[in-house]
Amino acid sequence: MPHKNARFKQALDGHHQWPCPYVFKFIVPNESLEALLALFPGEEVTTRPSKSGKYISATLESHMCSSKAVMDVYEKVSVIPGIMAL
């Protein structure tokens, strides 16, 4: 595991008692929203368009069992062009 990922895992483990709810926030270009939603079938994703309408913020709260599970989600969404994780 690269150093940056190890630090992120340590930070997650230091701030969360697993299992617990975890809030993911993403910003995606309008045309990438369907790709993001397809990765979370059956999950409730709250969306809000940007003022310009070019981007959409998406928030998802999911029950996570470990820091590795959280990191797996970020890895899964990283294939979406233009996505930003907050």
pLDDT tens over the chain, length 86 residues: 456 789 999 999 999 999 999 999 999 999 999 999 999 999 999 999 999 989 999 999 999 999 999 999 999 999 999 999 98
Query: For the whole model, what pTM was predicted?
Result: 0.88
pLDDT of residue 1: 47
Report the candidate in 60, 63, 59, 74 with the shortest Cα–Cα distance to residue 20: 63
CATH fold for domain 3-85 = Alpha-Beta Plaits (3.30.70)
Secondary structure (3-state) at 46: strand
Report the candidate in 73, 64, 11, 79 with the shortest Cα–Cα distance to residue 3: 11
pLDDT of residue 65: 96
Secondary structure (3-state) at 81: coil
Report the candidate in 21, 65, 76, 66 with the shortest Cα–Cα distance to residue 44: 21
Every domain of the chain and the residues it spans: 3-85
